[in-house]
């Protein structure tokens, strides 16, 4: 029986080499670097676009560590990052527990489920505001691949906070449920609903 080198597995459990990215636009913006402990100590923040080289699991962890209120429509409901802001080891345990739950419920590599969730929750089209002659208006624009991944990770993090805030569902279970729903493109997923809303507004601004 062949024994895998756990140093090449994420959290010593899951092989990123098995993961497939179906969206060609994300090939250069999603890193599946083999790393047992997804922690680079901020190395990906020193140069522009360097975050594309940071392992995608670590980028999810970093999104879950953010503080402050969420989107304006959600403000007042909860404060992001309560008990976890700056506590990376704590958030890493949350993500690892969530991945264990995902594997138990789906029987698949949870990193593959994360990639599918990102592909399904990142908007392809958004709006930007322009001002000409003193008149402001919005127009539709394509979303860059790096921003698409950022928006997808943000939606997954917001879904985790909103599902676990003032609720008996803990953060790891909330994250696992959101990842599975988003990977299946289920409308129960907050990220999928948010993507549809953004694209609907963009379509109306064409």
pLDDT tens-digit map of 58-89: 889 888 887 655 555 455 555 555 556 667 88
- 2 belongs to a structural domain: no
Q: Which domain does 182 fall in, by range?
A: 9-204
- The rounded distance, in Å, linking the Cα atoms of 138 and 125 is 13
- The rounded distance, in Å, linking the Cα atoms of 116 and 121 is 9
- 116 belongs to a structural domain: yes
Please list the pLDDT of the chain residue by residue as tens digits (206 residues): 444 556 678 888 888 888 888 888 888 888 887 777 777 777 766 777 778 788 888 889 888 887 655 555 455 555 555 556 667 888 888 899 999 999 999 999 999 999 999 999 999 888 888 888 888 888 888 988 899 999 999 889 888 887 777 777 888 899 999 999 999 998 888 889 989 998 998 888 88
Cα separations in angstroms, 199 against 123, 159, 188, 205:
6, 18, 17, 10
- 54 belongs to a structural domain: yes
Instruction: Give the CATH number for residue 169.
Output: 1.10.455.10
pTM: 0.84
Backbone dihedral angles phi then psi of residue 122, each to the nearest 5 degrees: -85, 125
| 3-state secondary structure string across the chain | CCCCCHHHCECCCECHHHCCCCCHHHCCCCECCCCCCCCCCCHHHCCCCHHHHCEHHHHHHHHHCCCEECCCCCCCCCEECCCCCCCHHHHHHHHHHHHHHHHHHHCCCHHHHHHHHHHHHCCCEEEEEEEECCEEEEEEEECCHHHHHHHHHHHHHHHHHHHHCCCCCCHHHHHHHHHHHHHCCCCCCHHHHHHHHHHHHHHHCC
- 3 belongs to a structural domain: no
- 164 belongs to a structural domain: yes
What residues form DSSP beta bridges with 55? 31
- 4 belongs to a structural domain: no
- The rounded distance, in Å, linking the Cα atoms of 128 and 192 is 21
Q: Show Cβ contacts of residue 122 under 8 Å, excluding neighbours closer than 6 positions.
A: 143, 148, 149, 151, 152, 155, 195
Q: Are the C-beta atoms of 79 and 67 separated by less than 8 Å?
A: yes
- The rounded distance, in Å, linking the Cα atoms of 177 and 137 is 38
- 114 belongs to a structural domain: yes
* Structural domains in the chain (count): 1
């Amino acid at each position: 029986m062949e024994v895998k080198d756990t140093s090449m597995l994420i959290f010593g459990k899951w092989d990123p080499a098995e993961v497939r990215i179906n969206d060609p636009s994300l090939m250069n913006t999603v890193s599946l670097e083999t790393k047992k402990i997804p922690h680079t100590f901020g190395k990906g923040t020193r140069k522009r676009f360097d975050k594309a080289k940071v392992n995608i699991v670590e980028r999810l962890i970093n999104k879950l560590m953010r503080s402050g209120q969420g989107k304006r429509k959600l403000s007042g409901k909860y404060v992001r990052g309560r008990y976890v802001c700056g506590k990376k080891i704590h958030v890493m345990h949350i993500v690892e527990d969530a991945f264990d739950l995902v594997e138990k419920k789906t029987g698949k590599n949870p990193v593959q489920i994360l990639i599918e969730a990102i592909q399904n929750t990142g908007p392809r089209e958004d709006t930007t505001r322009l001002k000409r002659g003193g008149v402001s208006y919005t127009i539709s624009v394509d979303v860059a691949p790096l921003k698409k991944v950022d928006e997808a990770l943000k939606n997954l993090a917001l879904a985790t906070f909103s599902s676990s805030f003032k609720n008996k569902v803990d953060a790891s279970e909330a994250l696992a449920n959101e990842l599975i729903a988003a990977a299946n493109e289920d409308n129960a997923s907050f990220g999928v609903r948010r993507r549809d809303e953004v694209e609907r507004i963009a379509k109306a601004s064409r």
